[in-house]
Amino acid sequence: MSTEVHRMALLSRHALEGTPWYGKALRKLLKGVTAEQAAAHPIRGAHSIWEEVLHAITWRQVAIKLLQGEKAPRVPAAKNWPKPPKPTAAAWKQTLDELKGTQPVLEAAIDALTDKRLSEKAREKRFSFYILIHGVIQHDAYHAGQIALLKNALK
């Protein structure tokens, strides 16, 4: 039996690494990007690919905490848009692994809910779990678009 929370978990997986209807999933866009490319700033005033990925990780982690019933941590500017480490292949792989590692935790947190609980408010927030989950999916799609633009600017 398919439930709404299960379908939402699958949608989040599609946005990260599946085949979303709108284009390439976030992790698929990152395939083949080198550490040097990820750290580059090909568009003046824009974030780098690496910064975009770290930002996505931050907000996925916040959403996971909220879905698990925890209070969301305050996200200072330095955590919202973290500075990447020195661009090495190992550091870039670690960042990509961290992004990938958020997905099973996110899916488990979503699947731990029931459809009935989707209308409940996240702890100390004005929005429901339903809005939060769709927000994570939309956030991933938005930043995938940003990364696609940055990749094109690198050519």
pLDDT digits (tens, 9 = 90+) for 41-62: 999 999 999 999 999 999 999 9
What residue numbers bound the domain in which 28 lies? Answer: 4-154
**Gap between the Cα atoms of 62 and 38, Å rounded:** 23
Structural element, H or E, at residue 28: helix 26-30
Q: What is the pLDDT of residue 73?
A: 82
Q: CATH number of the domain that 71 lies in?
A: 1.20.120.450
The tally of domains found in the chain comes to 1
Q: How far is CA 3 from the centre of its chain?
A: 23
Q: What is the pLDDT of residue 121?
A: 94
Q: What is the pLDDT of residue 128?
A: 96
Q: Quote the mean pLDDT of the chain.
A: 95
Instruction: Please compute the mean of the pLDDT values over residues 135-153 and round it to a whole number.
Output: 97
